[in-house]
Structure 1
Amino acid sequence: MTADKPTDFDDVLKNFNVFGRYHLVFLFFTFFAFAANSVFCNNYVFAAQEIGYRCSDETFGKDACYSIGNDNRTIRCTEWVYDNPNSFVAEFQLACQEWKRTLVGTVHSFGYMVGLLVVGPMSDRLGRKLTLVITGVLGGLLGLARSFTTWYWLYIVLEFLEAAVGDNCSPMFILTIEVVSTKKRALFYVLCGFGYTFGGIMLPTAAWIFPYWRTFLRVIYTPALFFFLYLYAIDESPRWLLTKGKKEKAITIIEKAAAKNKIEIDRAVLEKLQYEEEKSIRFLELLKMTFSSKTLTTRCLICIIWWTTSTFVNFGLTINSVSLQGNMYLNYMLMSLVDIPGNIIIIYILNNFKRKMPLITSFIVGAVLCFSQPFIPSYLPWLSISFYMAGKLMSSFYFSITYMFTSELFPTYTRNSMHALCSSIGRIGSMVAPQTPLLMHYWPGLPPLVFGGVSLVAGLVTFLVPDTADNSLPNTVKQAEALGNSITLKEHIEEKGKVNLAFSKEDTGINLVVNRESNLSRL
């Protein structure tokens, strides 16, 4: 790399191997942040698990709330005997109030939905690292506070607050994709994503070892207090620093990373880093600039469909897994372990088949598997479970691709905000997912049919977006609008063999300059 021309930041990142010392350390800390997110998002499955109960009056049947007296009057039970008297349901006296138990998961998802609208802009303003530290520590404190409350509605409020301001997944994810080059982005994110699988194994393990729900919450939330160490363990995103005009700090981090990886990057090259500096604009103005583009507005709506489908189906299948035959802890682990081969496969797919077609395929195949589920003969449980696991695998595929694809479709100055906005609204899916077990009272095959329907719709709308696999992350609205077009145009002209192509960055984005027999024309 030479210092005789302006330097693109992505060209600098190409010098780094994701298996170098610097990125391996970063991967280690990202792994545990994602594992914590996996544990915190779904802990209600075990903390507020379904428990059997019966009225202390033996004239009532098991789980019966009412009985008919001798005078034909309806009598409501007032005293209950629970299968597990130390359970969440028993301590809060939730017999015959199943909606209060499932409300815990819905409130968590609603809190996460609201929180993303706060955490996303916070990350764009305060920085990725500081935001993930603040949210990580707050999550631990609020989770621990829940383990001590004896009032149900206070528990619900704390559940909401913990999800709203105590989840560091969004800033951690954006930081992850901003510290690697375009070509290595998919590989690095998927490697970090194994943290979700690890968390999915540790959650039922902790619940199995510590069945009392208060002890369980204290065990899983106490480690979150150590997120303050991330202030010293990892660096801020150099890409974010550049947009804030802090070039010297960005250069210092790059040089530090280069020293750890034992590579040399000419200081003069770094001094010529070309990056559009973000102006001091309020969050609403930034969103207005983004939504002024019809192209980006359409993409936002499509991303919301992706997110709603991904959260609804993925969380729905996970929650319903504890109702399958067998040990619920092992069933949950099995659902998480499916992600291991899934992540390995997704690395290969994203590196060889880009983004768009894998996303469409996983949505549609997932829909077919869900549609098939209710019609599998009951005397073939192994086949039913196989289809169920395959459907979960497809949902993991499109959830992972959605995470990355969304972040690549928007410009840097609103990337985290737009990612958070789409993810936030899409959490409507995870809000509804905890209620899907109630559909089984009408027909056991209804939940998978609903999962299949929304997956099919999401797959079809994906045809409306461009592929981003070969593009650098866009910095401006113009660059974001041009995604998928500039590469196609370049390839088309180069096929003619008569032109030379050059790209130049200006304030409005990327302009293509075509040199044809010494005559310059701008397209």
Structure 2
Amino acid sequence: MADPTSLLPQPNREEDPETPSNNLHHSLDQIIEQSEASFGWNQFLQSILVSLASLFDGTQTFISVYTDATPTWHCTSGTTTCNSSSDICDLSTSDWAWDSISSKTIISDWNLQCSSSFITGLPASSYFMGGVIGGLLLGTLADSSLGRKRLLVISCITMSVAAFATIFSTNVWIYSALRFVSGIGRSCISTCVLVLLMERVGRKWRPRVGIMQFFFFTLGFLSLPAIAYINRANSWRALYLCTSIPAMLYCFLLQFFVKESPRWLFMNGRGEEAIAILKKSALSNPNSEFNSVLLSADLLSQVPESTKSIDPYKSMKDLFAKKWAMKRTLIVMVLGFGIGMVYYGMPLGVGNLGFNIYLSVMFNALLEIPSYPLTLIILEKWSRKLSVLWFCLVSGICGVVCAVVGDKQKVIRIVLELASFFCSRTAWNLISMFTVELFPTCVRNSATSLLRQSYILSAVFSSMLVSVGSSNGFLSYGVFGVAIFVSGFFVAFLPDTRGGTLCDTMDEQERKESMILG
């Protein structure tokens, strides 16, 4: 039987010493490299449609900055007991009033201004805890029964419908429960988007396409100050209405126009579908030699049997069955937790810095944009390991100094907060794409999901620390800085993946790395 790889140009061993000699990987990886050698309109539109899910994820993630904030108030009586430094919990309700409508946020709507930090921080923590639990329960299904696209559709529908239902909440407990459901829904969005984007293209385009997920998340984050400002005279429910309806409409586009990952289809016994998708992509590349490969029936004969009957959580178990995989998984989870403490904690806590909340959130969102070209330069030219380490260290130092600087140094504090946030954003970009390259197709989404869940778990703690940090800055910003600083050193135990290929099975990953070590 003819070897299908003979129809392809053989790899240059000097240029690509890491390419393993396994026929399945050889054929599939080379086909993807050829069919996606250029980035045509088909790939561009698919990437945009997939990345839009991250935009709606970004709006829901940080919407609590506005909906759960304590509004400003003013004194209504001429007594000396009421002034700008007074605690409204010590005042009579006739001595003060909110500056805007009473339903501006959930705090003023449900009279939570004097409630404990546990109650006021519960909705945000519930959202992030839903993300943790949802990721653990659903993340591995993208590697097994559901696939990347189907899980992404289910996640977007759950998140957007729960966000819309939040409008009808009558108390903080129902509100928190719906935020929990919304968190479960969004738990797999970022991982599915990132993996789906990067598995569709060759190694040249992986960093450039993968960065789109982060860019669209930032657009969602950046849209919030504008939406909140436009609705500043309206109830908090208007924010959920403006963000949930477009997200629900988007789910229809996702279902009918987005294609599945060809790598996942191939590994799950659906080779004809995978080849059809690659062929369509190749049509936009006039230099592609992909059509000659399509004529070979031998390629389809290498397609593995369908894995639908296998335990849907097998990929998660495989991550901890192999010593090398378990080591990598635990390390990226530690890194995700430390980076997440700063990335989520800093924006959620800007209200404690005494700076304009609209400008603060806008500055944080805008600062994410320059992190993307910087990430691309780093991924193409420098070591992933050293880059993640340095950004974690700088972010940690800025976070600790921000906590130490006094309340009177508002400008210095906001500059340090922005610097710490920028470094954490860049570190997250790097470790996310680094993780995709560290694991094979059969467990890639599960591994990326665990990274994401540790990242979200840190948000549960950081949102609580933000409430506590209103009276003690070091318990919020100081802890955030220490967490990312310490976690950064763990990256030293990971191998660098710059210039490498993506493997499809655990055995291929082991063979590839044994060749490198040999």
Question: For the superposition of Structure 1 and Structure 2, which TM-score range results when normalised by the shorter chain?
Answer: 0.7 to 0.9
Residue 438 (structure 2) aligns with: 409
For 2:266 and 2:459, how far apart are their aligned partners in 1? 35
Residue 348 (structure 1) aligns with: 377
Q: Which of 154, 161, 164 does residue 181 from structure 2 map onto?
A: 161
Say whether the 8 Å CA contact 1:55–1:77 is kept in structure 2. no
- Would you say 1:234 and 2:293 are equivalent positions? no
Per-residue CA deviations over 1:111-153 (Å, capped at 9, x if unaligned) read: 0111112331332221211221222122221111101222321
- After superposition, residues 271-286 of structure 1 pair within 5 angstroms as 271=296, 272-273=298-299, 279=307, 280-286=309-315
The amino acid across from 1:3 in the alignment is L
For 2:366 and 2:404, how far apart are their aligned partners in 1? 26
- Would you say 1:370 and 2:399 are equivalent positions? yes
For 1:78 and 1:11, how far apart are their aligned partners in 2? 74
Deviation at 1:338?
A: 0.7
* Cα distance change, pair 52–418 in 1 and its aligned pair in 2 (3 A): same
Q: Which of 221, 224, 227 does residue 203 from structure 1 map onto?
A: 224
**Equivalent position SS for 1:475:** coil
For 1:8 and 1:444, how far apart are their aligned partners in 2? 56
Residue 19 (structure 2) aligns with: none
* Cα distance change, pair 90–439 in 1 and its aligned pair in 2 (3 A): closer
Q: Which of 27, 39, 42 does residue 47 from structure 2 map onto?
A: 27
Residue 362 (structure 2) aligns with: 333
For 1:322 and 1:352, how far apart are their aligned partners in 2? 38
The amino acid across from 2:277 in the alignment is I
For 2:186 and 2:401, how far apart are their aligned partners in 1? 38
For 2:456 and 2:186, how far apart are their aligned partners in 1? 16
Residue 13 (structure 2) aligns with: none
For 1:420 and 1:333, how far apart are their aligned partners in 2? 28
Residue 344 (structure 2) aligns with: 315
Per-residue CA deviations over 1:211-265 (Å, capped at 9, x if unaligned) read: 3211111001101112121122221110010011111111111111111344443
Say whether the 8 Å CA contact 1:110–1:428 is kept in structure 2. yes
**Equivalent position SS for 1:109:** helix
The amino acid across from 2:364 in the alignment is M
* Cα distance change, pair 207–322 in 1 and its aligned pair in 2 (3 A): same
- Would you say 1:9 and 2:28 are equivalent positions? yes
**Equivalent position SS for 1:95:** coil
Deviation at 1:42?
A: 1.2
For 1:262 and 1:404, how far apart are their aligned partners in 2? 29
For 1:138 and 1:379, how far apart are their aligned partners in 2? 44
Deviation at 1:454?
A: 1.2
Greater C-alpha radius of gyration: 1
Residue 123 (structure 1) aligns with: 142
* Cα distance change, pair 164–269 in 1 and its aligned pair in 2 (3 A): same
Q: How many positions carry a matched residue from both structures?
A: 481
Deviation at 1:487?
A: 3.1
Say whether the 8 Å CA contact 1:128–1:171 is kept in structure 2. yes
The amino acid across from 1:215 in the alignment is A
* Cα distance change, pair 127–441 in 1 and its aligned pair in 2 (3 A): closer
Deviation at 1:378?
A: 6.5
Q: Which of 269, 277, 290 does residue 245 from structure 1 map onto?
A: 269
* Cα distance change, pair 193–423 in 1 and its aligned pair in 2 (3 A): closer
**Equivalent position SS for 1:467:** coil
The amino acid across from 2:115 in the alignment is Q
For 2:305 and 2:383, how far apart are their aligned partners in 1? 29
The amino acid across from 1:92 in the alignment is W
Q: Provide the TM-score with structure 2 as the length reference.
A: 0.85
Q: Which of 90, 94, 113 does residue 108 from structure 2 map onto?
A: 90
* Cα distance change, pair 326–291 in 1 and its aligned pair in 2 (3 A): closer
For 2:436 and 2:303, how far apart are their aligned partners in 1? 18
For 2:332 and 2:31, how far apart are their aligned partners in 1? 30
The structure with more strand, counted as a fraction of residues: 1
Say whether the 8 Å CA contact 2:148–2:192 is kept in structure 1. yes
Residue 114 (structure 1) aligns with: 133
Residue 193 (structure 2) aligns with: 172
Residue 496 (structure 1) aligns with: none
Say whether the 8 Å CA contact 1:80–1:95 is kept in structure 2. no
Q: Which of 466, 474, 478 does residue 449 from structure 1 map onto?
A: 478
Bigger mean CA deviation after superposition, 250-259 or 435-444: 435-444
Say whether the 8 Å CA contact 2:354–2:410 is kept in structure 1. no
For 2:353 and 2:52, how far apart are their aligned partners in 1? 29
For 1:382 and 1:79, how far apart are their aligned partners in 2? 32
Bigger mean CA deviation after superposition, 453-462 or 259-268: 259-268
Say whether the 8 Å CA contact 2:352–2:469 is kept in structure 1. no
Residue 148 (structure 1) aligns with: 168
Deviation at 1:416?
A: 1.1
For 2:285 and 2:42, how far apart are their aligned partners in 1? 6
Q: Which of 470, 488, 498 does residue 469 from structure 1 map onto?
A: 498
- After superposition, residues 65-80 of structure 1 pair within 5 angstroms as 65=89
For 1:186 and 1:277, how far apart are their aligned partners in 2? 31
Q: Which of 48, 56, 71 does residue 68 from structure 2 map onto?
A: 48
Q: Which of 205, 208, 218 does residue 241 from structure 2 map onto?
A: 218
Residue 14 (structure 2) aligns with: none
Bigger mean CA deviation after superposition, 207-216 or 161-170: 161-170
Residue 17 (structure 2) aligns with: none
Deviation at 1:60?
A: 7.6
Bigger mean CA deviation after superposition, 102-111 or 387-396: 387-396
**Equivalent position SS for 1:427:** helix
**Equivalent position SS for 1:487:** helix
The amino acid across from 1:404 in the alignment is M
Bigger mean CA deviation after superposition, 328-337 or 370-379: 370-379
For 2:170 and 2:408, how far apart are their aligned partners in 1? 45
* Cα distance change, pair 55–484 in 1 and its aligned pair in 2 (3 A): farther
Say whether the 8 Å CA contact 1:411–1:473 is kept in structure 2. yes
**Equivalent position SS for 1:474:** coil
Deviation at 1:192?
A: 3.6
**Equivalent position SS for 2:114:** coil
For 1:350 and 1:475, how far apart are their aligned partners in 2? 21
Deviation at 1:288?
A: 2.9
- Would you say 1:386 and 2:410 are equivalent positions? no
* Cα distance change, pair 467–30 in 1 and its aligned pair in 2 (3 A): same
CA RMSD of aligned residues (A): 2.8
The amino acid across from 2:492 in the alignment is F
Residue 63 (structure 1) aligns with: 87
For 2:477 and 2:352, how far apart are their aligned partners in 1? 14
Deviation at 1:12?
A: 2.1
Say whether the 8 Å CA contact 1:18–1:24 is kept in structure 2. no
**Equivalent position SS for 2:283:** helix
For 2:162 and 2:373, how far apart are their aligned partners in 1? 35
Q: Which runs of 5+ in 1 are unaligned?
A: 68-75, 490-523
Bigger mean CA deviation after superposition, 266-275 or 444-453: 266-275
For 1:154 and 1:384, how far apart are their aligned partners in 2? 36
Say whether the 8 Å CA contact 1:321–1:335 is kept in structure 2. no
Per-residue CA deviations over 1:64-112 (Å, capped at 9, x if unaligned) read: 4358xxxxxxxx9899854441222122221311432211111100001
